[in-house]
């Protein structure tokens, strides 16, 4: 069972009526085919998230198929959430293989419905702005419940499908109970007038009460009246909304390192921050960063989220205001450059481990002083860890491309798109990818770096044609092809030109022009042979073999694919490509009637897919083995292979 709710960390006060209504709604819900929704709304800081988490913890035993959590603010860009990508985040824990995501929104929604039909799931969707953001995320099961948290009411949720709970500020009695639950301090009894003033200042908002409680705990020897005199004077002077004023007071009480890190938070990519990334941002070493993080958490100015620290939107905006008021612009620029280059270095390292040596144009970033590198571990496990890191840090990496370009760090912006290519090949998040690669094109163009501009256009074209924008992809490839005339005759430049021919061939194959594709692959192959690039030559040999097979030239296709397969499985040591070339060769051998030879290659491909954990490739090979067995008259084996493939698809919510 997938469970994505953090452990309870604070005492929960009041909301008895809201809790009772929510629990009663779950117990009484009896619709067989549509889920219950529970909508929590209220002002920022009023405790919607905490109530939603509290309900999820209390209800977990009712939902045996999983308890999932989504914060839409982490997925929002320019105020908009792309449903395609949100569904991708939900489908990962629901299926047994993250490599299998349908590409279009309609297909992905149907996949989600198939995976959730008949299940008992609890899904908590936080920081929702519109009901239309939630509707596509509703499971296809009456046994499921969706908790939704938003600042305002969501009028476009399905009629008659749930219960709306509007949360107001705590009354004084409950606010005092909450304060006492987190502060065990005799001053709360000794100074009742100061406590009453403190409660008025916090206005019944739990977030403000927690920040105030931390201040009281920190200043154990200071009378509350004295503490509140300073506190109140600052609030009145600033004239900001209440929660912002409380955060100002907490900020003023920080030590110099923590205050500096807080000001820098607004200069970082808008994503959860790891301790190592915080060290890079601060620039004072890992220990100083750890101490600053601890102080910020104690002050209520940083939210823990597993190994990372989250900076909610209002806090990030507050940090930016403090930076504008208190920080030196040169300091901010240096912090921004440090964090962008740190992410770029780690992404380059992960890319090299995961994908091996390949054509890249960005200069490797050297180690940054006082900023530790990510430890990807030793041996074969390093590749898995590197790929996982790219996925875990994707929000920071995509945001880093935009941040770098916005602040003139163009070399870093387009260079960061290169490792994001490796991530894209396994994770089809087209909105983020297309946006990042468009930014990479703009950055390379502004920097006047022709090779990078060519590379970025090719990457953008692939993402575009995969999501169906074939015409625009063709325009990008035309521009990339034209720009190759400016390249020189060095081996790297010739290799880049050959890459453009390969991308062009792939685009032509998408349109069914296999003759044109074969021409491009052959041209690219000859370049790689001429410059002695053995992997590039083997790859284009494989591509050409596939194209010729589509054209019916089976003898020549078999010869080329056998050559490519031998190279990938042998001297080049590329097991993933060996599996792909073997699968393609088996298809040609099968068409030529060599069923036994084809079977051996298919079984090798099946073993490789299982070793990689690729359920998509595993099902594809099982389908083919089933067809092969049927051709050989082995009906029992054919049925067994097909049932295994069908079971994989069912687990991943895919038709077939």
Residue 529 has pLDDT above 80, yes or no: yes
Residue-wise pLDDT for 109-141, tens only, equals 999 999 999 999 999 999 888 888 999 999 999
**CATH for the 256-327 domain, from 3.50.50.60, 3.40.1350.10, 1.10.10.60, 1.10.10.10:** 1.10.10.10
Residues 6+ apart with CB under 8 A from 652: 95, 96, 97, 100, 111, 115, 615
Q: How far is it, in rounded angstroms, from Cα 467 to Cα 433?
A: 11
* Mean pLDDT confidence for 182-205: 88
pLDDT for the residue 239: 34
Residue-wise pLDDT for 189-198, tens only, equals 999 999 998 8
Residue-wise pLDDT for 245-293, tens only, equals 667 878 888 899 999 999 999 889 988 899 999 999 999 999 999 999 9
Architecture of domain 16-166: 3-Layer(aba) Sandwich (3.40)
Residue listed under structure tokens 């953008």: 460
Residue-wise pLDDT for 364-422, tens only, equals 999 999 899 999 998 878 988 998 999 999 999 999 999 999 999 999 999 999 999 99
DSSP 331: H
Tell me if domain 256-327 and domain 561-656 are identical in fold: no
Coil, strand or helix: which one is 128?
Answer: strand
pLDDT for the residue 308: 85
- Element (H or E) spanning 129, and its range? none
DSSP 486: G
Least reliable range by pLDDT among 437-446, 515-524, 568-577: 568-577
Q: Is the distance from CB of 250 to CB of 322 less than 8 angstroms?
A: no
Q: How far is it, in rounded angstroms, from Cα 83 to Cα 86?
A: 5
Residue spans of the domains in the chain: they are 16-166, 172-252, 256-327, 561-656
Q: How far is it, in rounded angstroms, from Cα 592 to Cα 554?
A: 7
**CATH for the 561-656 domain, from 1.10.150.20, 1.10.10.60, 1.25.40.10, 1.20.120.1200:** 1.25.40.10
Q: How far is it, in rounded angstroms, from Cα 329 to Cα 324?
A: 8
């Amino acid at each position: 069972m997938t469970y994505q709710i953090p452990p309870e960390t604070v005492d929960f006060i009041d909301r008895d009526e809201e809790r009772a209504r929510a629990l009663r709604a779950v117990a009484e819900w009896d619709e067989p085919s549509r889920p219950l929704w529970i909508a929590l709304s209220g002002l920022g800081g009023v405790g919607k998230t905490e109530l939603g988490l509290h309900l999820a913890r209390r209800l977990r035993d009712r939902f045996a198929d999983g308890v999932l959590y989504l914060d839409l603010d982490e997925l929002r860009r320019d105020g908009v959430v792309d449903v395609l990508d949100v569904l991708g985040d939900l489908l990962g824990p629901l299926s047994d293989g993250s490599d299998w995501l349908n590409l279009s929104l309609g297909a992905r929604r149907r996949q989600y419905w198939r995976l959730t039909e008949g299940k008992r799931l609890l899904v908590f969707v936080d920081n929702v702005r519109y009901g239309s953001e939630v509707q596509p995320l509703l499971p296809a099961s009456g046994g499921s419940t969706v908790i939704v948290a938003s600042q305002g009411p969501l009028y476009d949720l399905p009629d008659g499908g749930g219960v709306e709970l509007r949360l107001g500020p705590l009354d004084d009695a409950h606010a005092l109970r909450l304060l006492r639950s987190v502060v065990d301090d005799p001053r709360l009894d000794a100074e009742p007038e100061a406590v009453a003033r403190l409660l008025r200042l916090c206005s019944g908002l739990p977030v403000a009460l927690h920040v105030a409680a931390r201040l009281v705990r920190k200043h154990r020897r200071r009378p509350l009246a004295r503490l509140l005199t300073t506190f109140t004077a600052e609030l009145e002077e600033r004239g900001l909304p209440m929660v912002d004023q409380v955060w100002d007071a907490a900020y003023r009480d920080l030590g110099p390192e923590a205050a500096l890190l807080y000001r820098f938070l607004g200069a970082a990519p808008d994503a959860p921050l790891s301790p190592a990334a915080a060290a890079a941002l601060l620039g004072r070493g890992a220990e100083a960063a750890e101490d600053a993080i601890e102080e910020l958490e104690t002050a209520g100015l940083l939210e823990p989220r597993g190994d990372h620290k989250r900076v909610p939107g209002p806090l990030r905006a507050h940090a930016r205001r403090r930076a504008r008021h208190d920080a030196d612009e040169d300091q901010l620029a240096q912090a921004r450059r440090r964090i962008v280059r740190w992410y770029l270095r780690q992404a380059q390292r992960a890319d090299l481990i995961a994908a091996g040596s390949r054509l890249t144009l960005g200069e490797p970033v050297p180690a940054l002083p006082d900023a530790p590198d990510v430890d990807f571990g030793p041996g074969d496990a390093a590749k898995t860890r590197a790929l996982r890191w790219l996925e875990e840090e994707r929000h920071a990496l995509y945001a880093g491309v935009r941040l770098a370009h916005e602040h003139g760090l163009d070399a870093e912006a387009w260079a960061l798109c290169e490792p994001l290519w490796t991530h894209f090949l396994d994770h089809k998040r087209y909105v983020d990818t297309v946006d990042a690669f468009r930014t990479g094109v703009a950055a390379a163009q502004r920097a006047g770096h022709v090779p990078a501009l060519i590379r970025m256009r090719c990457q953008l074209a692939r993402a575009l044609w995969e999501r169906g924008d074939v015409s625009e992809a063709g325009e990008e490839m035309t521009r990339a092809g034209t720009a190759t005339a400016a390249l020189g005759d060095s081996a790297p430049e010739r290799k880049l030109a050959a890459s453009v021919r390969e991308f062009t061939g792939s685009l032509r194959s998408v349109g069914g022009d296999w003759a044109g594709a074969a021409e491009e692959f052959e041209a690219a192959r000859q370049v790689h042979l001429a410059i002695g690039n053995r992997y590039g030559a083997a790859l284009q040999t494989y591509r050409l073999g596939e194209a010729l097979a589509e054209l019916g030239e089976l003898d020549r296709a078999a010869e080329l694919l056998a050559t490519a397969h031998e190279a990938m499985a042998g001297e080049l040591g590329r097991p993933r490509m060996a599996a792909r070339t073997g699968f393609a060769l088996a298809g040609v051998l099968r068409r030529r009637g060599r069923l036994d030879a084809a079977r051996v290659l298919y079984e090798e491909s099946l073993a490789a897919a299982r070793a990689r954990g690729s359920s998509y490739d595993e099902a594809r090979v099982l389908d083919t083995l089933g067809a092969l067995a049927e051709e050989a008259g082995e009906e029992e084996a054919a049925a067994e292979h097909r049932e295994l493939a069908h079971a994989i698809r069912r687990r991943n919510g895919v038709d077939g």
